[in-house]
Amino acid sequence: GAVVSQHPSWVICKSGTSVKIECRSLDFQATTMFWYRQFPKQSLMLMATSNEGSKATYEQGVEKDKFLINHASLTLSTLTVTSAHPEDSSFYICSARGISNQPQHFGDGTRLSIL
């Protein structure tokens, strides 16, 4: 079946650094990728939607300069949290979808902890 790989699974870093999270579709071409944020014991909140080769569409309230999304190929999207601070600590999950009638397939998530 469709597999989405997310890396790293867990990262701890100091406040002020930038962190890059990768999301790869391993056995299908992902025309659209989604990035979600999940706070402890809460639901997933969509941050942005990205289509290969075009700029991401951010949800209201999400800072595009803070959360940089690049979808440079049909199998890879990256989320970079710039100048991370403790309030950015969260569980980040990506999903990928092939052609428009297919469901989204989710990665295993990245737990980001900013000290």
24 binds other proteins (CB under 8 A): no
Q: Rg for the chain (alpha carbons), in Å?
A: 13
The answer to whether the bond into 8 is cis (omega within 30° of 0) is: yes
7 binds other proteins (CB under 8 A): no
Give how far the C-alpha of residue 41 lies from the chain's centroid of Cα atoms, to the nearest Å.
19
93 binds other proteins (CB under 8 A): yes
Q: Which stretch binds other proteins (CB under 8 A): 14-22, 61-69, 74-82, 97-105?
A: 97-105
Selected binder of other proteins within 16, 72, 108, 113 (CB under 8 A): 108
- For 14, how many CA atoms within 13 A lie in the half-sphere containing its CB? 1
93 neighbors 106 (Cβ within 8 angstroms) = yes
Could you list the residues that contact other proteins (CB under 8 A)? Answer: 4, 6, 34, 41-44, 46, 49, 93, 95, 97, 100-109, 111
